[in-house]
Amino acid sequence: MSFIKAEGVPADYLLCKLFSHSLAGRGTSWLRQLEPGSLTNWTDTKNAFMNHFFDESVTEALRLQISSFTQAPTESLRAAWLRYRSYQWQCPQHGFQESQLINIFYKGIAKPYRNQLDAASYCNFMTRTTSEALLLITNVVIINFCSYPSPSTHLRQPNGIHDCADFWGTHKARGWV
């Protein structure tokens, strides 16, 4: 929401007005079935949508996917980070604080990558603030992506420098940095 601003217009109002334009198919049908004026603020709108489309069993399954995250043996750090973040996008109502999410990711990645994060943060990654930790993860992911562009080479010798502009831009656009 930080990319859309109108002077003197509350963000809550903009979110409510733009919400209908973000829907398609079943989402649009659901919104049209609601009584006009029944949703008067962004919190009510978001909660009504989530309650309708995400029952508790789906939410719990997605929360379990987040909380039990582990990096696959041949998975690059970049692929692991993107997969982990995609779990969070699939379940925006996951309820974890950002610091908890960072802790889960750190504990779920391979030891060499934990060592890189520790080295980048003066030997103790877990003492970093949330914003520092996210920046460190992003930097280490970018360094690994640029040095090891494919999953098959990430555990072997560097395969040259890769263009990182698209990777960085994608993360900024999604609000991950």
Q: What is the mean pLDDT of residues 17-45?
A: 89
Do 43 and 74 belong together in one domain?
Answer: no
Q: How confident is the model at residue 47 (pLDDT cuts 50, 70, 90)?
A: confident
Lowest mean pLDDT among 80-84, 106-110, 139-143, 163-167: 163-167
Highest-scoring range by mean pLDDT, 6-10, 82-86, 163-167: 82-86
Q: Into how many domains does the chain fold?
A: 2
pLDDT cut 70: percent of the chain above it: 80
In a domain, 1, yes or no: no
Residues 61 and 107 in one domain: yes
Does 3 reside within a domain? no
Q: Is the domain of 37 the same as that of 103?
A: no
Classify residue 6: in a domain, yes or no. no
Residue 45 falls within a domain, yes or no?
A: yes
Q: 145 and 62 in one domain?
A: yes
> 152 and 85 in one domain?
yes
80 in the same domain as 164 = yes
The span from the CA of 20 to the CA of 17, in Å, is 7
Q: Is residue 84 part of a domain?
A: yes
Residue 5 within a domain: no
Share of the chain above pLDDT 90, in %: 38
Sign of the CA dihedral 128, 130, 131, 133?
positive
Domain range for 31 is 11-53
pTM of full prediction above 0.95: no
Q: Give the residue, 97 or 174, on which the prediction is more confident.
A: 97
Q: Is 134 domain-assigned?
A: yes
Question: 70 and 112 share a domain?
Answer: yes
Q: Are 48 and 66 part of one and the same domain?
A: no
Residue 83 three-state SS? helix
pLDDT at 7: 78
Q: Are residues 79 and 137 both part of a single domain? A: yes
pLDDT reading at 3 higher than 70: no
- Whether 156 has a pLDDT exceeding 60, the answer reads no
Which tokens is 79 given? Answer: 């692929």
pLDDT, tens digit, for every residue of 73-118? Answer: 999 999 999 999 999 988 888 989 999 999 999 999 999 999 999 9
Exposed, middle or buried by CB within 10 Å (0-12, 13-18, 19+), for 144? Answer: buried
In terms of domains, do 24 and 64 share one?
Answer: no
